[in-house]
Amino acid sequence: MDFTFSPEHVALRRMIREFCEEELRPRAKEVDRAGRVDPEVMRMMGSLGFFGVPFAQVYGGMGAGETGYCILMEELNRVCPSTATIVGAHIGIGAMSLYLDGSPELKRKYLPDLCAGKKIAAFALTEPNAGSDAAGIQLRATLEGDSYFLDGQKMWITNGPIADVVMTLAITDPALGARGGATVFAVEREWKGYSIGKPEKKMGLHGSPTSLLNFDEVRVPKENVVGQVGLGFVTFMKTLDVGRTSLGAATVGGGQAALEASLRWVKARSQFGRPIAHMQSIQFMLADMAAEIEALRSLVYRTAWLVDNGKPFTKEAGMCKLLGSEIASRCIDRALQIHGALGFSRDFPLERGWRDARIGEIFEGTNEIQRIVIASELLQEVGVRIRP
């Protein structure tokens, strides 16, 4: 077993870290306050290839695989979770569904611009009545001639307000329901009937724009079906699986940020006559953080290896997301506690990280759903099939 990263991945991480320190860190506070990421940062990330990290170079991607993508998410989330979320939703679930199941023509049509960051992607699954119960979606796609007409609503769509191309799951055959009768469509923002709701006001991730999307008889040409008609649910579930691994990577970055901030603070802050680094309670909190992050890091990069080597990874991906989100929350909470009252102040970045982290246990499949997914895989291995 070789646990070293390849030289190209080491070099990639170094460049991304430098970028994050120079360009993202100074802006992170303002991103949270103003609720947006600087367009200049988006442009720079585009020119460096951030928006297409895992995709093959033949489509304009960076060709760095799932491992490279995990490295990107880890480094971005370490410094600015809002930025990481925009990029993550764009690559990990938006463009990814196109990349996994789209026809070569459809991929050639959209991927180069998506990889360059010239166009932003989103993934539209959730609806007001279909959250964890994704199979309960109702958005309809009716075939007429050589077009489909999409009608309905999608909710809580990350990148909704800024996406140029939205991979949308719609019911094409109501009799078969979502599992056998749904199809993924690549929908362009400019098309008639498509409108964007006002951005959601959230507790954290203020710089990551989220909104409702309305489809009012939006005409989508047949060519824009992603994958097979009727098999959209499978495409989307596959996409979510891949996305979960990189979410796990993001949480490694989040945990790491919490640990680094804590190490700096315990050296600088003194009470009872000495740096608080000398308090055993503090030492144990630091140790617990480091141990959890290390375990998570191994799980995440091993799962990335499974993805890059074409092996099954559904169970492991679910574990990455489940454990990662909980570990990150625990680590940032410990870090806040270590900083005392200053952790509660908006003049310090701890509370921002704490607010940003909370969604980790909810989006892209709540942790309850992750547990169902993992249990389902485990029980399948012993011959028991379960339903949520």
Partner 1 sequence: MNILVILRAVQDPNGFTVNRRAQKVFVNREQFMINPSDKNALEAALSLATESDTVVAVALGDAPAEDALRQARAMGAGRALLVRDATLKNADATVVAAALRHLVNHLDETKLVLLGAEVLDADLAQVGPRLAAVLDWPFIEAAHQLEIHGSTVAAIAPQPDGFHKLEADLPAVVSVAPDSNQPRYAPGAKIINVYKDKHAVETHTPADLQLTEADLTPTTEVRGESFPPEREPGKRLEGSPDELARQLAEVIRKI
Partner 2 sequence: MDFSLTEEQQMFRDMFRDFAEKEIAPVAEHADKTEQPPVELLKKAAAQGFLGATIPEQYGGAGMDYLTYTLLAEEIARHCLSTAITITIHTMLASMSILDAGSEGQKQKYLPRLAGGELASFALTEPDAGSDPGSLQTRARREDGTFYLDGVKTWVSNGGLAGVHVVFASTEPGKRHHGISAFLVEKDSPFVMVGHREPTLGLRAMDIRTVYFEDGHVPAENLLGPLNGGWPIVLRAFNRVRLGLAAAALGAAEGALALGANFAAERKQFGGPIAQKQAIQNYVADCAVEIEALRHLVHYTAWLADGGQDYGRYASMAKYLGARIAKDTANKMLQVHGGYGFSDEYTISRVYRDVRALRLLGGTDEIQRYAVARGIFDEKGLKIQP
| Helix/strand/coil for 34 | helix
In the complex, the smallest distance separating the C-beta of residue 329 from partner 2, rounded to whole angstroms, is 8
Binding partner 1 (rule: CB under 8 A), the pick from 8, 30, 216, 368 is 8
Kindly tell me which of 69 and 156 has the beta carbon lying closer to partner 1: 69
**Active site (catalytic) residues:** 364
Binding partner 1 (rule: CB under 8 A), the pick from 44, 100, 234, 290 is 44
Query: Under 8 Å CB-to-CB from 380, ≥6 apart: which residues?
Result: none
In the complex, the smallest distance separating the C-beta of residue 383 from partner 1, rounded to whole angstroms, is 43
Instruction: Looking at residues 46 to 65 of the shown chain, list those that interact with partner 1 (rule: CB under 8 A).
Output: 47-50, 53, 57, 61-64
Kindly tell me which of 63 and 199 has the beta carbon lying closer to partner 1: 63
* Per CB under 8 A, 177 contacts partner 1: no
Long-range pairs, 36-42, Cβ under 8 A, ≥24: 36/207, 36/209, 37/80, 37/82, 37/83, 37/86, 37/207, 41/83, 42/86, 42/117
Q: Which two tokens stand for residue 79?
A: 């410094």
Interface segment toward partner 1; rule CB under 8 A; list 14-22, 78-86, 184-192, 297-305: 14-22
Q: Which two tokens stand for residue 231?
A: 């098999």
Residue 111 amino acid letter? L
Kindly tell me which of 7 and 310 has the beta carbon lying closer to partner 1: 7
On the 0-12 / 13-18 / 19+ scale of CB atoms within 10 A, 112 is: middle
In the complex, the smallest distance separating the C-beta of residue 265 from partner 2, rounded to whole angstroms, is 12
* Per CB under 8 A, 143 contacts partner 1: no
Residue ranges that bind partner 2, judged by CB under 8 A? 126, 129-133, 136, 156, 200-204, 270-273, 279, 281, 336-337, 340-341, 343-347, 351, 354-355, 358-359, 361-363, 366-368, 371, 388
- Residue 50's binding partner out of partner 1, partner 2, none, with CB under 5 to 8 Å set by partner kind: partner 1
* Per CB under 8 A, 309 contacts partner 1: no
* Per CB under 8 A, 11 contacts partner 1: yes
CB atoms inside a 10 Å sphere around CB 198: 8
| Torsional sign, CA 330, 331, 337, 342 | negative
Give 372's Cβ-side CA count (13 Å radius): 10
Kindly tell me which of 273 and 383 has the beta carbon lying closer to partner 2: 273
Contact assessment for residue 128 and residue 137, using Cβ atoms and an 8 Å cutoff: no
Kindly tell me which of 44 and 372 has the beta carbon lying closer to partner 2: 372
**What is the distance between the alpha carbons of residues 272 and 270, in angstroms, rounded to a whole number?**
7
**What is the distance between the alpha carbons of residues 341 and 18, in angstroms, rounded to a whole number?**
31
Kindly tell me which of 21 and 133 has the beta carbon lying closer to partner 1: 21
- Residue 47's binding partner out of partner 2, partner 1, none, with CB under 5 to 8 Å set by partner kind: partner 1
Q: Which two tokens stand for residue 321?
A: 């997301």
In the complex, the smallest distance separating the C-beta of residue 115 from partner 1, rounded to whole angstroms, is 9
Among 280, 285, 272, which Cα is nearest to 339's?
Answer: 285
- Residue 150's binding partner out of partner 1, partner 2, none, with CB under 5 to 8 Å set by partner kind: none
Among 40, 192, 14, which Cα is nearest to 117's?
Answer: 40
* Per CB under 8 A, 70 contacts partner 1: no
* Per CB under 8 A, 287 contacts partner 1: no
Binding residues for partner 1, rule: CB under 8 A, are 6-8, 11-12, 15-16, 18-19, 44, 47-50, 53, 57, 61-64, 68
